């Protein structure tokens, strides 16, 4: 029998052709609706490989549902949805999709920064609502970007790509990371900073930090009070790094000027989420890497990793390298 591969969302047939030629492949029937938990558990009992989304909970129950599972290929850079310890103990490869989405996500990050700073969404809705009846000097006036200071929290490859764009806007660049990035300091003139100094000095605080025990609830009420009142907060990393109630109160109380958010603590968020009621919030549905070209490349990388593992080879991008020993 051919190895069985289950994919938790409906993907274009042409993107998985490499796998369907060699394996028995089945997909969930919907592109936008998540696979029900009970269905995924049943599929995991017989699957040799799973291609999962960041929103799929790949916990110990799922990883131990069957005896055939050899790889979980996550269609994302992040993998905090996966119980890595259990996967490693069971010899299950876990792969992700780094690098191929770096520039696309950096584009979205800077687009969100610009849209929030210049009140682009608010202005577009103003026109559509028929409110534009005259011109005035401060009509929907926003904030300059050129020559301001950007503070990047999480200076991975995406952070470096954002810094490259910030340099083109003549911005001063501060960054905070677990380790210094000397190449970024040389190339972009970026300055390493403590977290406390960064949030107090930056005009734009951009979170690209991964979700870890250390970063969960990193942005608290105390942190927002230390920011400039004119500061704009951008999050394209992970939602749970932010205390959303504290962010809401900071925006309402004028502790910071605005926020641009592509990620939230719980996704998808409901239409009545309190942050969506604020005019100084630009909210996006977690589309950091959502260009056609990049999503296709991510899918193909997942397929490449699955093909490799099920053929007895080393995956191209693996998270838990311990299983290779």
- Catalytic: which of 196, 214, 267, 322? 267
Overall pTM surpassing 0.85 (yes/no): yes
- Rounded CA-CA distance 125/214 in Å is 38
> Under CATH, which number does the domain 4-99+292-324 receive?
3.40.50.720
Backbone angles phi, psi at 56, to 5 degrees: -85, 130
List 93, 119, 176, 238, catalytic entry: 238
Contact (CB, 8 A) for 53 and 278 = no
Record: fold of 102-283: Rossmann fold (3.40.50)
Q: Is 238 a catalytic residue?
A: yes
160 given a catalytic annotation: no
Instruction: Write the pLDDT tens digit of every residue in 55-68.
Output: 999 999 999 999 99
pLDDT digits (tens, 9 = 90+) for 24-61: 999 999 988 999 999 999 999 999 999 999 999 999 99
Marked catalytic residue, from 119, 165, 286, 295: 286
Task: Give the pLDDT confidence of 111-163 residue by residue, as tens digits.
Answer: 999 999 999 999 999 999 999 999 999 999 999 999 999 999 999 999 999 99
CA atoms of 86 and 66, how far apart (whole Å): 13
Structure tokens at 154: 């999480």
Same fold flag, 4-99+292-324 and 102-283: yes
**Strand order from edge to edge, sheet including 24-27:** 24-27, 4-7, 49-52, 71-74, 93-95
To the query of whether residue 267 is one of the catalytic residues in this protein, the response is: yes
Q: Which residue ranges make up each domain of the chain? A: 4-99+292-324, 102-283
């Amino acid at each position: 029998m051919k190895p069985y591969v289950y994919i938790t969302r409906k993907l274009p047939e042409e993107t998985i052709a490499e796998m369907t030629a060699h394996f028995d492949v089945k997909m969930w029937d919907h592109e936008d609706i998540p696979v029900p938990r009970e269905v995924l558990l049943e599929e995991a009992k017989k699957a040799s490989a799973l291609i999962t989304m960041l929103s799929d909970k790949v916990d110990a129950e799922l990883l131990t549902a069957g005896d055939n599972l050899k790889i979980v290929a996550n269609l994302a850079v992040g993998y905090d949805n996966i119980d890595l310890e259990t996967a490693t103990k069971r010899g299950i490869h876990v792969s992700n999709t780094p690098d191929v989405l770096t520039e696309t996500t950096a584009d979205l990050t800077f687009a969100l920064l610009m849209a929030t700073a210049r009140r682009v969404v608010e202005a577009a809705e103003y026109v559509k609502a028929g409110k534009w009846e005259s011109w005035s000097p401060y009509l929907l006036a926003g904030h300059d970007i050129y020559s301001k200071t950007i503070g990047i929290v999480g200076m991975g490859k995406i952070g470096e790509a954002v810094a490259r764009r910030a340099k083109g806007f003549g911005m001063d660049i501060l960054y905070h990371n677990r380790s210094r990035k000397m190449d970024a300091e040389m190339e972009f003139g970026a300055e390493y900073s403590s977290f406390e100094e960064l949030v107090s000095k930056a005009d734009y605080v951009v979170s690209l930090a991964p979700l870890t025990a250390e970063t969960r609830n990193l942005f608290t009420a105390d942190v927002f009070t230390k920011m400039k009142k004119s500061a704009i907060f951008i999050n394209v990393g992970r939602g749970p790094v932010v205390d959303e109630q504290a962010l809401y109160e900071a925006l309402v109380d004028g502790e910071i000027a605005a926020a641009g958010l592509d990620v939230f603590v719980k996704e998808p968020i409901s239409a009545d989420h309190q942050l969506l009621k604020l005019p100084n919030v630009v909210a996006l549905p977690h589309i950091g890497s959502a260009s056609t070209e990049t999503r296709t490349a991510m899918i193909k990388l997942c397929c490449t990793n699955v093909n490799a593992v099920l053929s007895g080879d080393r995956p191209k991008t693996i998270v838990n390298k311990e299983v290779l020993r």
